[in-house]
Amino acid sequence: MYVGDYLGRRALYTPDQLAVVDAGKVPHRTFTYSELNNRANRLANWLRDGAGIRKGDRVAILAYNGVEYLDAFFACGKLGAILVALNWRLHWRELQQLIDKTEPKVMIYSDEFKDIIGQITVEHTPINHLLHIEGKGLPNSRYFEKTLSDSILRPVVTENLTEEDIACLIFTGGTTGLPKAAQISHRMIGWNTLNTIIHDLQHGDVTVNTFPLFHTGGLLVYTTPLLILGGTVVLTRKFEAEQVLSLLEEYSATVYAAVPTMYQMMTTAPNWDEADLSNLRFCTSGGAPLPVYLVEKFQAEKGVQFKQGFGMTEFGPGVFALAQEDAVRKAGSIGRPNFFVDAQIVDEYNHPVPPGQVGELVLRGPSMCSGYFNDPEASASVVDADNWFHTGDLAMMDDQQYFTIVDRKKDMFISGGENIYPTEIEHVLYKHPAVEMCAVVGIPDPKWGELGKAFVVVKAGEQVSEDELMAHMQHFLAGYKVPRTIEFRNSLPISAAGKILKRELISEAAHES
């Protein structure tokens, strides 16, 4: 056994334990650790013998969640190859640029993305082999399941694989240009697993994963740590609130992670009232502050306790945890650093600031990524001389070492010389009982530089006017922080990870002005 062969080790310990349920298939498909390990070995052998993949080579995947995603991830781990996890929300030309940059030799794809792959491969690309997960596929494309069944079943041994070798590339959000590919090492995966087990997981846990597996939330928050620990992961193809509630009940899930918008959608799903969530030990929320009313609703109606956390593609992603007993008392906080994470708040001169003062959050520890793929300049720009990773998040710490994210540096805007933090305003909007979802952005203004604009989705059956919401915000906020305008919408643009896409709102607002 060696670094990277997570399934080989787990199949030795608990071969007959249920590892994965692919709930995106009809009927659901189930896999023990022995079966999952066999699939990864078969794919790894084909990648090596049929496609010429060697240590350090890249294998790309553009697919919805399914067991095939994990097959590819664990097969690459066995070979020392690098899985390139592509975001299916991107335009095909953006994907083309990422493929040109990472140079994968093999592309695995869902049938829904066949046309995109066809467009990309018309141009000269480094891709030599195509594997389609379902459907007929493109010409010269191999069917994934037949590739596995035709491949030999024998253990894969890769020499000289170390903890510093890269397991996969996960792309950043790409809000400031082309997404950067964070290099996720086996060392990072191991330490994040240890942090996650210390703070969240235990033997026998079952989770439902609804984050896309191209996202750190899907692959690394609970999925990989739980499979290393020997638990069970239920995969959904994409997030659908009604299905998630059913799966949590059907498979007696004990832990679940999502972002606030997902939890909000679950409370309005048609099966919310009858859903039995009594097996959940807790739910974890991240990505944005969780409104207190959601904490209280889940607790009152379903008996569910909440943890909150904070992570990022480049670090962890298990970085901070807010315990269940602090969910209301410390609402808005991301909690305290996980066991093997150092964190501090620094000013513009990189000096630590006292409790209660806003500065940039910086992190240090063994669960940090190994920079960005083929981008030494960007890699160097985020890590200082003392090996602190600069997150770009504005935060503060209280005297009990609870941390709170004030906002992203890039989301903060300046109006009349004053720093405005949209997250603070959104927190206030969520206190209003009629607000289901909201986002605040800064838009250009010739007099003030920028002015705030709020986008609001009202809960079904509720009514609220712009004047009422303005008065509500003025009750809690200084006048200069209150957005100048409010736009009511039926929905807000949501990313595959369940986050509100503020850049789209900013672009729309700028176009309208």
Boundaries of every domain in the chain:
6-196, 239-408, 421-512
Residues 349, 354, 355, CA angle at the centre, nearest 5°? 135
Is it true that the peptide bond before 317 is cis, omega within 30 degrees of 0?
yes
- Are the beta carbons of 209 and 235 closer than 8 angstroms? yes
| Cα–Cα distance measured from residue 144 to residue 443, given in angstroms and rounded to the nearest whole number | 47
Of 439, 427, 444, 447, residue with least CA distance to 486? 439
Q: Do domains 6-196 and 421-512 have the same CATH topology?
A: no
**Taking each helix axis from N to C terminus, what angle separates 33-49 and 6-13, rounded to the nearest 10 degrees?**
150
Tell me what pLDDT residue 177 has.
59
Give the model's pLDDT for residue 175: 43
pLDDT along the chain (513 residues), means of 10: 86 97 97 98 97 97 98 97 93 89 97 94 88 94 97 89 96 69 97 96 96 94 97 96 98 95 91 97 86 90 93 94 88 92 95 94 98 95 95 92 82 77 87 92 83 93 95 89 94 80 82 66
The dotted CATH code for 239-408 is: 3.40.50.12780
β-sheet with 389-397: strand ranges across: 342-346, 359-364, 389-397, 403-408
Give the pLDDT of residue 409: 67
| 348 burial type by CB count under 10 A (0-12 exposed, 13-18 middle, 19+ buried) | exposed
Check whether domain 421-512 has CATH 3.40.50.1100, yes or no: no
- At position 198, the amino acid (one-letter code) is I
**Cis upstream peptide for 27 (omega within 30°):** yes
User: What's the rounded Cα separation, in Å, for the pair 391 and 396?
Assistant: 13
**Distance (Å, rounded) from C-alpha 369 to C-alpha 422?**
28
Q: Give the C-alpha separation, 5 to 127, whole Å.
A: 25
Residue 73 is predicted with a pLDDT of: 98
What is the model's pLDDT at position 335? 94
Q: What is the pLDDT of residue 259?
A: 86
Q: In sequence order, what E strands does 398-469 have? A: 403-408, 413-415, 418-420, 435-445, 449-458
Give residue 70's pLDDT.
98
Residues with Cβ within 8 Å of residue 488, at least 6 apart in sequence: 456, 457, 458, 466
Tell me the pLDDT tens digit for each residue of 235-273: 999 999 999 999 999 999 999 999 888 998 999 999 999
**What local confidence, expressed as pLDDT, does residue 478 receive?**
79
Which tens digits make up the pLDDT trace of 435-478?
Answer: 999 999 998 887 777 889 999 999 989 999 999 999 999 998 87
Q: Which helix (H) or strand (E) holds 29?
A: strand 29-32
Give me the amino acid identity at 20. V
pLDDT of residue 429: 93
For 472, the token pair is 């509500």
| Parallel/antiparallel/unpaired status of strands 18-22 and 29-32 | antiparallel
* Cα–Cα nearest to 413, from 463, 440, 450, 360: 450
Q: What is the dotted CATH code of the domain comprising 6-196?
A: 3.40.50.12780
